[in-house]
Amino acid sequence: MMSALAEKPRRANMCLVLGIESSCDETAASVLRLEGGHPQVLSSVIASQDEKHAPFGGVVPEIAARAHMEKIETVTKRAMQAANVQYCDLDAIAATAGPGLIGGVITGLQYGKGLALSLGRPLLAINHLEGHALSPRLSDECPFPYLLLLVSGGHTQLLAIMGLGDYRRLGSTIDDAAGEAFDKTAKIMGLGFPGGPALERLAKAGDPNSVALPCPLRGKPNADFSFAGLKTAAARAFAALGEAPSQQAKADLAASFQHTVAAVLHERSGRAFDMFDRLVADSVPKRFVVAGGVAANQSIRESLMSLSAQRGYAFSAPPLKYCTDNAAMIALAGAEHFADGRTDTLAARARPRWPLDGESAAKAPKSGSGKKGPKS
Ligand code: KG4
Ligand code: ZN
């Protein structure tokens, strides 16, 4: 079987790629066709593990790894069926190879390698952050270069996306990610897991100006972020509400917290606009893109959209289904690299840490650099 399929000719202008994502708590598979540079998502299947982690108020790596192993095959088969394609039609297999929880990353990557080997198709080992970085191209005309705010549970970064594989970090969090701050604040307030969407729902009934919270790093001349102090201030404000806070008091705190995160993202991103303006010629049309799970937050989106308009940039944010973790973005990153002539070998390794902009992260790690390399 392998030799017959391996002879399938490579098509330059069109490719069909299966993407696999398993770096955190979503097991996902997607089939995507890239034709003349235009992606078409034929299927995108996501099995969420939220229910399994909810009793613990956060993702438990051991439970996540086990759940990925249980689901990966079914999810992949469902993606293939929904796309109505045969395995022999695929040109390449793209799997997330990091960064993320290593048990899950290994499960998805090994499964991808197994498929690549048995089908005689190339493997693409994809950086999860690159998936998020390219995700706006799934739904929008989004030509390079663009300024990207990647804002998720594990990452908060501003990057200049100059072209495929050319990503320059302009700023990064020095402690917690914005999504992590949402999740931890929601946990303290007893809102359940995942915290971001729950906190946004509660905030709808609250007054965003009722609780004064700090805006860390405001006015600093770089484009870095910090959320640890804000998270601690929100925890103190919640404790000050006493044993049995009213629903209105909780909603006011949630709205104030969300408003402050939006203000921090707005102010820090403003610095990155200045840097991007210096990096890219005036004649090039400018675009600001927001991606990652926190980009699902409506009031954060609106605040960033107005900043973008003030600065004369076009604005893109992927639809919600492509903001949070999904495999369509991994399939897209794989397809774009495959169309560009890249393939990886089966020796590609799973990496718990893998900065998107390896060079500047190695020179100036923002949040620690252990034996396994810089975190961000
Ligand atoms: O991109 P993602 O699915 O996974 C990572 O790679 O981290 O992002 C998940 C994060 C979680 O922290 C979640 O609470 C946050 O995105 N999130 C939100 C909202 N929806 C998801 N944060 C604020 N408001 C939301 N509506
Ligand atoms: Zn993610």
pLDDT in tens for each of the 376 residues of the chain?
Answer: 444 444 444 545 899 999 999 998 889 999 999 999 999 999 999 988 788 887 877 788 888 889 888 999 999 999 999 999 999 999 999 999 999 999 999 999 999 999 999 999 999 999 999 999 999 999 988 999 999 999 998 889 999 999 999 999 999 999 999 999 999 999 999 998 889 999 999 999 999 999 999 999 999 999 999 999 999 999 999 999 999 999 999 999 999 999 999 999 999 999 999 999 999 999 999 999 999 999 999 999 999 999 999 999 999 998 989 988 999 999 999 999 999 999 999 999 999 999 888 655 555 555 443 333 344 4
Separation CA 202–CA 182 (nearest Å): 12
CA end-to-end distance (rounded Å), the chain = 42
CA dihedral 148, 154, 127, 323 (to 10 degrees): -60
- Ligand 1 near 152 CB (within 6 A): yes
Strands 166-172 and 373-374, sheet pairing: unpaired
CA distances in angstroms from 40 to 33, 209, 269, listed in the order given: 5, 43, 31
Q: Are 303 and 263 in contact (CB under 8 A)?
A: yes
- CA 35 – ligand 1 centroid, Å: 31
- Ligand 1 near 104 CB (within 6 A): no
* pTM of structure: 0.88
- Ligand 1 near 197 CB (within 6 A): yes
- CA 50 – ligand 2 centroid, Å: 15
Q: Whose CA is nearest to atom 8 of ligand 1?
A: 293
Among the atoms of ligand 1, which is closest to the Cα of residue 323? 1
- Ligand 1 near 23 CB (within 6 A): no
Q: Whose CA is nearest to atom 11 of ligand 1?
A: 153
- CA 132 – ligand 2 centroid, Å: 7
Which pLDDT does position 375 carry in this prediction?
Answer: 41
Q: Which ligand is nearest to the CA of 293?
A: 1
Measured in degrees and rounded to the nearest 5, phi and psi for residue 336 equal -65, -40
